[in-house]
Amino acid sequence: MTRARRSTYGGPVSEKAGVSRDGRRRALLVGLAALVVVALLVGAAAWTRDRERDDEWAHGGDGVTVSAQIEATTSAGYPDALAAAGVPAEPADSRARQSFVLQVSWSGTPDPDGSYVFVLLDQRLSPPKPLGAIASWDADGASGPSWAGSYGALAEHYPWLARTAARHHPDGSYTDTAEGLLLSATAEGEGVLAFFLPRPELATDRPEDDLLLAMVRTDDDGEVRWARRVPLT
């Protein structure tokens, strides 16, 4: 038999009702504690992902061994420079003050997929200014210049690539300021790249010192993973 007790307001209160209220309070506290734990776990996971992504931006290309040889040439000598690199000869770009043919090779690509995007920059200027791109050649054939909106992340993460950012206009439109050349990001590979220095820029007789080659890793979705400098010889 359940005994009743008097409430503050004079009516009988069941002891079962008091126990029920205590149970609800405990359940509420347990639920709140669980939510706090979940929030902490989600926050910790997000923090870990951010730290890992920051590390990838800074050091993602450290394990890739890459080399690049560059040859500067006039418009008249450009077809011969291409032929010497083992690709079909073709006329120089009509806008070129000077043309450059590069032979690149690499090994150690982590998780091979996606592409490598190469950008040649004039580091006589600060920040370095991108040169015009002509074409690239690898085992898959030839391809022309390419640039995607997702590459805007480069200027956000690398001060030396600040001039790759798109130029925005008052009407809301924008103009790309850089051109890249793509090669498949195989575990190891090689390819030929051709760029040009447009008029009226001054020609260089020391391309190994005056120019800078950026190697950019993009995934299958075209998102930038990291970028690094490639020494020129």
Would you say 70 and 212 are in contact if contact means Cβ atoms under 8 Å apart?
Answer: no
Q: Whole-angstrom Cα distance, residue 13 to residue 26? A: 20
Q: Are strands 65-73 and 188-198 parallel, antiparallel or unpaired?
A: unpaired
CATH topology of domain 62-230: Immunoglobulin-like (2.60.40)
| pLDDT at position 112 | 82
| pLDDT at position 40 | 63
| pLDDT at position 34 | 73
For the chain, the average pLDDT equals 88
Would you say 82 and 88 are in contact if contact means Cβ atoms under 8 Å apart?
Answer: yes
Task: Report angle CA 13, 17, 20 to the nearest 5 degrees.
Answer: 160
| pLDDT at position 114 | 93
Would you say 97 and 184 are in contact if contact means Cβ atoms under 8 Å apart?
Answer: no
- Alpha helices by DSSP H, listed for the chain, are 15-59, 78-84, 153-157, 207-210
Cross-strand pairs, 71: 101
Residues of the chain with pLDDT under 50: 7
| pLDDT at position 10 | 56
Q: What is the largest CA-CA distance in the chain?
A: 109
What would the pLDDT profile of 69-80 be if each residue is shown by its tens digit?
Answer: 999 999 999 999
| pLDDT at position 38 | 66
| pLDDT at position 207 | 98
Which residue from 147, 139, 142, 133 is spatially nearest to 100, judged by alpha carbons? 133
What would the pLDDT profile of 92-136 be if each residue is shown by its tens digit?
Answer: 999 999 999 999 999 999 888 899 999 999 999 999 999 999 999
